[in-house]
Amino acid sequence: MGEKIADCVLLFGLGRLDSFPIDVWMERLLRSLYFPKGARIPARELAEFALTYFGPYGGYAQQLLYFWYRQAAGRSPARELELSPEEEAELTF
């Protein structure tokens, strides 16, 4: 299991609000909003930055930033979860 998945489990499954999952979108966002343009910031440094900058409620910040950034990029996370009637019919429970 990778770090992002582990952070997602901590945040969404165990309620650890200090967890800050970082995927490609969050890497782009953090680099563009909080660091000088063109700076090469390793993923580990981004994670450390998020932990100290956003503190014990970083999970809330991550969710708000993620949704805002995807919307600004023209991608709707909510819309991506919608299923067509055909896809819904194929679901088995």
Residue 62 pLDDT greater than 50, yes or no: yes
Predicted local distance difference test score (pLDDT) of residue 93: 43
Does pLDDT of 35 surpass 50? yes
Total residue length of the chain: 93
pTM summary value:
0.70
Give residue 84's pLDDT.
Answer: 64
What are the distances in angstroms from CA 78 to CA 2, 23, 30, 50? Answer: 24, 17, 21, 24
- For 33-58, what is the mean pLDDT? 92
What are the extents of the domains in the chain? 3-90
Residue with tokens 């967890």: 19
User: 20-30: per-residue pLDDT in tens?
Assistant: 999 988 898 89
Q: Quickly list DSSP for 31-78.
A: HHHHS-TT----HHHHHHHHHHHHGGGHHHHHHHHHHHHHHHTT--HH
CATH 1.10.10.10 at 3-90, yes or no: no
